[in-house]
């Protein structure tokens, strides 16, 4: 006799389970986040090998590095750690509309072009829509590519797994998206926590047994209203997040977890009218629209993962409007760090900005998280306050301490290399501590300006004596 369906309630936000419905989750304190989950799954015993016993191994046996499948896209390979690993599961998460389907369709096409047999299953779009998108993307339609790529529109995981098990030809399978998938064993609606988990589990199990690469697309929403792919993070081998500001063309693919590679790699893309274009040299693009001779702008030599990128920090100061506190509007940086830099400039360098509204923007839609940006932010602020532009050919990096001292940051040599590569003449950076042998070597032609204290930086912007007379 089939087991009676059991029902329980699960919080959409923190995934705590409750036997009964309540209005507020005791665990995370959110209201109205419990949803009913029904499952008729009678536990079945399905041994993965015939004997139903574990095969154990010794630690000292030979280990081969995993085989890699070249995706045909260098930026994607870089984030994955030189390609896809057969039998692994990769989750590609991101906001709706950010370009996940576009990226994956371009990848499947590039794979098919390399004669890898690929299946793209869409639960969101009809076949015709995918074809139209492929047309818009001007994807390769040569017979050899077209033969290697199969499209399917389905949300039924049982059908998908039956097909994969029967055909056993696919090397890469893309599921777009996991929130649309449905498994008959679970009574709740697609997108619910248990449905998402169950479908993913079934597909991942199949990928491991049949040895294909499973790529799962998942939408994340800020409110966590959907059963986001966060529940899946621990089930898959790699988690990549596709990020960007929809108003800007840049998109960053970031590895948040990777069992087969580094997690701090990023891939940079630009969304164009013919799809995503790879950006092998992001600094040049981020600085393309820079006008060096405007006060309030400074170039920051940052690191995104292991990759150096130059970005422009812009500051605009204006007299405070109204009686309230001064406005601090920050895009792409941490506003509490901005307050700290402003306080340090005031307390240690006598630069009074308390009565000014401050607008700070990192161009290109990127978000900086490194404290190494402090020095560039300070330079932009001082430049805006004094009305003197920073040198058009200088780039900045360094952390600012509470006493105004400028502290060393990691990867100095890599940052200098990037600054040199982009044709800058000066690098303004923290003073080197330690012996001369460990001093990072700047590339040829780059002039190093070591700065120990913020007041030294302020002094560089002091109006020159002959300025007054001219």
Binding site for ligand TYD (CB under 6 A): 94, 96-102, 133, 136-137, 271, 273-275
Of the pair 253, 303, the CB lying nearest ligand TYD is at 253
Min separation Cβ 161 and ligand TYD, Å: 23
Piece of 101-109, 201-209, 306-314, 461-469 that binds Mg ion (CB under 5 A): 101-109
Contact partner, 409, from ligand TYD, Mg ion, none, Cβ < 5-8 Å per class: none
Min separation Cβ 110 and ligand TYD, Å: 15
User: Over the chain, what HEC string results?
Assistant: CCCCCEEEEEECCCCCEECCCCCECCCCCCECCEEEEEECCCCCCCCCCCCCCCCCCCCCCCCCCCCCECCCCHHHHHHHCCCECCCCEEEEEECCCCCHHHHHHHHHHHHHHCCCCEEEEECCCCHHHHHHHHHHCCCCCCHHHHHHEEEEECCEHHHHHHHHHHHCCCCEEEEECHHHCECCCECCCCCCHHHHHHHHHHHHHHHHHHCCEEEEEEECCCCCCCCCHHHHCCCCCEEEEEECCCCCCEEEEEEEEECCCCCCCEEEEEEECCEEEECCCHHHHHCCCCCCCCCCEEEEEEEECCEEEEEEEEEEEEECCCCCCCCEEEECCCHHHHHHHHHHHHHHHCCCCCCEEEEEEEHHHCCCCCHHHHHHHHHHHHHHHHCCCCCCCEEECCEECCCCEEECCCCHHHHHHHHHHCCCCEEEEECCCCCHHHCCCCCCCCEEEEECEHHHHHHHCCCCHHHHHC
Min separation Cβ 265 and Mg ion, Å: 23
Piece of 30-38, 93-101, 135-143, 429-437 that binds Mg ion (CB under 5 A): 93-101
**Tokens matching residue 352:** 């009074």
Residue 214 and residue 204: Cα distance in Å, rounded? 7
Piece of 56-64, 95-103, 158-166, 269-277 that binds Mg ion (CB under 5 A): 95-103
Piece of 79-87, 94-102, 282-290, 421-429 that binds Mg ion (CB under 5 A): 94-102
Contact partner, 274, from ligand TYD, Mg ion, none, Cβ < 5-8 Å per class: ligand TYD
Of the pair 61, 97, the CB lying nearest ligand TYD is at 97
Of the pair 136, 167, the CB lying nearest ligand TYD is at 136
Contact partner, 167, from ligand TYD, Mg ion, none, Cβ < 5-8 Å per class: none
396 close to 298: Cβ distance less than 8 angstroms: yes
Of the pair 271, 372, the CB lying nearest ligand TYD is at 271
Min separation Cβ 10 and Mg ion, Å: 26
Contact partner, 282, from ligand TYD, Mg ion, none, Cβ < 5-8 Å per class: none
Min separation Cβ 144 and ligand TYD, Å: 23
Q: Would you put residue 68 in left (φ > 0), alpha (ψ -120 to 50) or beta?
A: beta
Contact partner, 168, from ligand TYD, Mg ion, none, Cβ < 5-8 Å per class: none
Residue with tokens 């998280």, as numbered in its chain: 369
Min separation Cβ 224 and ligand TYD, Å: 17
Min separation Cβ 133 and Mg ion, Å: 9
Min separation Cβ 58 and ligand TYD, Å: 45
Q: Which of 77, 88, 101, 194 binds Mg ion (CB under 5 A)?
A: 101
The sign of the CA dihedral 454, 456, 461, 465 is: positive
Of the pair 137, 326, the CB lying nearest ligand TYD is at 137
Of the pair 219, 337, the CB lying nearest ligand TYD is at 219
Contact partner, 332, from Mg ion, ligand TYD, none, Cβ < 5-8 Å per class: none
Min separation Cβ 251 and ligand TYD, Å: 9
Of the pair 180, 451, the CB lying nearest ligand TYD is at 180
297 lines the binding site for Mg ion (CB under 5 A): no
The residues, ordered by sequence, that sit 6+ positions from 58 with a Cβ below 8 Å of its Cβ are: none
**Tokens matching residue 314:** 């812009």
Min separation Cβ 179 and Mg ion, Å: 10
Of the pair 3, 136, the CB lying nearest ligand TYD is at 136
Residue 98 and residue 314: Cα distance in Å, rounded? 25
Min separation Cβ 186 and ligand TYD, Å: 24
Residue 156 pairs in a beta bridge with 182
Of the pair 275, 430, the CB lying nearest ligand TYD is at 275
Contact partner, 448, from ligand TYD, Mg ion, none, Cβ < 5-8 Å per class: none
- Position of minimal CB gap to Mg ion: 101
Of the pair 89, 98, the CB lying nearest ligand TYD is at 98
179 lines the binding site for Mg ion (CB under 5 A): no
CB atoms within 10 A of CB 371: 16
Of the pair 30, 95, the CB lying nearest ligand TYD is at 95
Per CB under 5 A, residues contacting Mg ion are 101
């Amino acid at each position: 006799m089939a087991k009676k369906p059991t029902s329980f309630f699960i919080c959409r936000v923190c995934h705590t389970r409750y036997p009964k419905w309540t209005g507020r989750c005791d665990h995370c304190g959110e209201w109205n986040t419990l949803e009913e989950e029904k499952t008729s799954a009678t536990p079945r015993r399905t041994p993965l090998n015939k004997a139903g016993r574990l095969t154990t191994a010794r630690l000292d046996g030979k280990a081969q590095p995993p085989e890699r499948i070249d995706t045909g896209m260098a930026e994607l390979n870089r984030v994955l750690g030189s390609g896809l690993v057969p039998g692994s599961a990769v989750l590609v998460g991101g906001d709706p509309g950010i370009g996940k389907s576009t990226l994956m369709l371009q990848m499947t096409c590039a794979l098919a072009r390399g004669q890898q047999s690929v299946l793209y299953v869409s639960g969101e779009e009809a076949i015709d829509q995918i074809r139209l998108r492929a047309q818009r993307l001007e994807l390769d339609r040569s017979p050899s590519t077209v033969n290697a790529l199969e499209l399917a529109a389905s949300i039924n995981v049982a059908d998908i797994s039956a097909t994969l098990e029967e055909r056993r030809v696919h090397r890469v399978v893309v599921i777009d998206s996991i929130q649309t998938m449905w498994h008959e064993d679970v009574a709740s609606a697609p997108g619910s926590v248990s449905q998402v988990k169950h479908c993913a589990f079934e597909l991942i199990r199949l990928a491991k047994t049949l040895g294909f690469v499973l790529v799962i697309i998942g939408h994340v929403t800020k409110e966590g209203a959907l059963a986001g792919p966060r529940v899946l993070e621990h089930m898959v081998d790699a988690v990549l997040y596709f990020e960007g500001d929809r108003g800007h063309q840049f998109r960053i693919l970031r590895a948040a977890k990777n069992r087969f590679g580094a997690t701090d790699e990023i891939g940079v893309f630009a969304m164009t009218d013919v799809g995503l274009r790879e950006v092998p040299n992001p600094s040049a693009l981020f600085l393309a629209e820079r006008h060096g001779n405007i006060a309030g702008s400074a170039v920051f030599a940052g690191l995104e993962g292991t990759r150096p990128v130059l970005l422009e920090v812009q500051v605009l100061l204006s007299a405070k409007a109204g009686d309230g506190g001064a406005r601090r509007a920050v895009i792409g940086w941490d506003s509490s760090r901005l307050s700290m830099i402003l306080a340090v400039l005031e307390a240690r360098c006598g630069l009074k900005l308390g009565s000014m509204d401050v607008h700070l923007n990192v161009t290109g839609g990127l978000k900086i998280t490194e404290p190494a940006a402090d020095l560039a932010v300070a330079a932009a602020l001082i430049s805006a306050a004094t009305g003197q532009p920073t040198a058009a050919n200088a780039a900045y990096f360094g952390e600012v301490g509470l006493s105004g001292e400028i502290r060393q940051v990691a990867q100095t040599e890599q940052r200098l290399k990037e600054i040199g590569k982009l044709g800058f003449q000066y690098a303004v950076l923290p003073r080197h501590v330690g012996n001369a042998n460990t001093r990072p070597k700047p590339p040829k032609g780059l002039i190093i300006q070591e700065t120990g204290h913020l007041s030294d930086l302020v002094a560089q912007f002091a109006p020159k004596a002959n300025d007054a007379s001219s």
